[in-house]
């Protein structure tokens, strides 16, 4: 969704889109998601030096509550945030923590059947795949090469 229509929708619903909230959404949109609150805070501070981490965090919470932003837990102790853009899953890098969107859901009938059979009410689910991203793997290769004392000939 484009940011302008998102902001329009929020305003229509009576939500006050302050310049900081707008900036917050812009940052998330631009980055294609998966930023930690600290990342977002750093970026906002670049143009609004007086902003506090608490305010940024509170605004993130409000936007999550509105369903505009989704909070993600990649089990590394840092929540990530992304603009809500339909249900999807992630490939998460164990090294740098970056995530790649997987545009499908592996949630299966077996799971819902098991839930029904056990009178279990499903509220939500996570499915994240962990590994190493291309960039980190390249870096890792370079480090190995250096350790071996090999130098590329130019
Ligand atoms: Zn990585
Ligand atoms: Zn995502
Ligand atoms: Zn899913």
Q: What CATH number does the domain containing 42 carry?
A: 1.10.10.10
Tokens of 5: 């229509």
**Do 7 and 40 share a domain, yes or no?**
yes
If you average pLDDT over every residue of the chain, what do you get? 90
End-to-end CA distance of the chain: 46
Helix (H, G, I), strand (E, B) or coil at 107: coil
Is the pTM above the cut of 0.85? no
Tell how far the Cα of 130 is from the centroid of ligand 2, in angstroms.
Answer: 14
Residue-level pLDDT at 152: 58
| Segments forming the whole domain that contains residue 49 | 1-85
Point out the ligand nearest to the CA of residue 122.
3
Q: Which two tokens stand for residue 96?
A: 């740098």
**How many folded domains does the chain comprise?**
2
Most distant CA pair in the chain, distance? 66
Q: 33: buried, middle or exposed (CB in 10 Å: 19+, 13-18, 0-12)?
A: buried
Relative to the alpha carbon of 28, which ligand is closest?
Answer: 2
**CA 126 to ligand 3 centroid distance, Å:** 6
Q: Is the pLDDT assigned to residue 154 strictly greater than 60? A: no
Residue 10 shares a structural domain with residue 59: yes
Same-domain status, 81 and 119: no
What's the rounded mean pLDDT across residues 22-43? 90
Rounded-to-5 percentages of helix, strand, coil across the chain: 45, 15, 40
Quick check: 135 pLDDT over 90?
yes
Average pLDDT over residues 18-36: 89
Find the 84 Cα to ligand 3 centroid distance in Å: 13
Residue 61 has pLDDT above 90, yes or no: yes
pLDDT tens string 98-123? 899 999 999 999 999 999 999 999 99
2 and 62 both lie in a single domain: yes
Examine the domain organization and report whether 15 and 76 are in the same domain.
yes
The answer on 93 and 74 residing in a single domain is: no
Domain boundary among 85, 103, 120: 85
Q: Across residues 86-90, what is the average pLDDT?
A: 92
Q: Where are the alpha helices (DSSP H) in 13-108?
A: 19-31, 37-47, 53-65
């Amino acid at each position: 969704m484009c940011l302008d229509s998102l902001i329009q929708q929020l305003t229509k619903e009576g939500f006050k889109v302050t310049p900081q909230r707008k900036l917050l959404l812009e940052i998330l949109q631009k980055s294609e998601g998966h930023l930690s609150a600290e990342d977002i805070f750093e970026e906002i501070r670049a143009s609004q030096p007086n902003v506090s981490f608490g305010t940024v965090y509170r605004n993130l919470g409000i936007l999550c509550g509105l369903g505009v932003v989704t909070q993600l837990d990649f089990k590394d102790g840092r929540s990530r945030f992304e603009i809500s853009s339909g249900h999807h899953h992630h490939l998460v890098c164990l090294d740098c923590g970056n995530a790649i969107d997987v545009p499908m859901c592996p949630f299966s009938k077996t799971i819902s059947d098991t839930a029904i059979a056990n009178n279990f009410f499903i509220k939500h689910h996570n499915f994240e795949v962990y590994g190493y991203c291309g960039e980190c793997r390249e870096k890792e290769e370079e480090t190995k090469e250096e350790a071996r004392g090999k130098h590329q000939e130019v």
